[in-house]
């Protein structure tokens, strides 16, 4: 039923490389929040969780003299734009349905408005789920980006998410 699983996305070398920049623990926590919020808002859990997992995949490393430079970051960051493109490329490469890949990457693009000149975004329900899930895991001073998680724990939670999404999709088919 699903063309691509979360496990396939998470274990791909592109995701492994770039999710580490903003923290795998944050990506997984946001994916878990998105699963719960998507249920309340009746949003497709597969799209919501994939977009949530990939929402920060576009981060660049803004280091100056070995330290993260927040001024450089704020002035130059386009991680949502970069992330949307990166997520789309990865999903298509894995064989995702092109319409789903587009919706997921749009939700990545619009998960924040920090890079836009005017901050008055109107988000559709899927995009709202991802933005809300991201906010739910936010900690002061950007501490959510520095949480760590073991490889084993990460994969366990990814597999649990895959399981929950599949169960919800099956029960939806049975009740419709
Ligand atoms: Fe972000
Ligand atoms: Fe985030």
Residue 74 placed within a domain: yes
pTM attached to this predicted model: 0.95
Inside any domain, residue 1: no
Looking at residues 116-140, what average pLDDT do you find?
94
Whether 102 is in a domain gets the answer yes
Please determine, for residue 119, whether its predicted confidence score (pLDDT) is greater than 80: no
Domain containing residue 76: CATH number: 1.10.3210
Closest ligand to the CA of 115: 1
CA of 154 to the centre of ligand 2 (A): 17
Q: What is the pLDDT of residues 7-41, one digit of tens each?
A: 999 999 999 999 988 899 999 999 999 999 999 99
Q: Residues lining ligand 2 (ion), CB within 5 A?
A: 56, 134
Q: 111 is in which domain, residue-wise?
A: 6-175
pLDDT at 145: 86
Query: Ligand 1 centroid vs 112 CA: distance in angstroms?
Result: 6
Residue 143 lies in a domain: yes
Give the ligand whose atoms come closest to the C-alpha of residue 108.
Answer: 1
Domain count, the chain: 1
How many A from CA of 55 to the centre of ligand 1? 6
SS3 per residue for the chain: CCCCCHHHHHHCHHHHHHHHHHCHHHHHHHHHHHHHHHHHCCCCHHHHHHHHHHCCCCCCCCEECCEECHHHHHHHCCHHHHHHHHHHHHHHHHCCCHHHHHHHHHHHHCCCCCCCCCCCCCCCHHHHHHHHHHHHCCCHHHHHHHCCCCHHHHHHHHHHHHHHHHHHHHHHHHHC
Structure confidence at residue 136 as a pLDDT band (50, 70, 90)? very high
């Amino acid at each position: 039923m699903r063309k691509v699983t979360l496990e396939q996305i998470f274990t791909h070398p592109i995701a492994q490389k770039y999710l580490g920049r903003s923290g795998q623990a944050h990506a997984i926590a946001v994916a878990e929040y998105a699963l719960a919020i998507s249920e309340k808002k009746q949003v497709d859990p597969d799209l919501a969780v994939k977009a949530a997992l990939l929402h920060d995949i576009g981060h660049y490393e803004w280091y100056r003299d070995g330290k993260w430079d927040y001024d450089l970051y704020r002035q130059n960051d386009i991680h949502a734009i970069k992330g949307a493109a990166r997520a789309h490329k990865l999903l298509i490469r894995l064989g995702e349905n092109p319409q789903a890949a587009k919706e997921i990457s749009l939700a990545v693009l619009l998960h924040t408005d920090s890079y836009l000149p005017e901050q008055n975004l109107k988000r559709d329900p899927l995009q709202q789920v991802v933005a809300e899930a991201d906010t739910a895991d936010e900690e002061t001073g950007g501490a959510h980006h520095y949480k760590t998680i073991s490889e084993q724990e990460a994969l366990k939670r990814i597999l649990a998410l895959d399981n929950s999404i599949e169960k919800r999709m099956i029960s939806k088919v049975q009740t419709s």
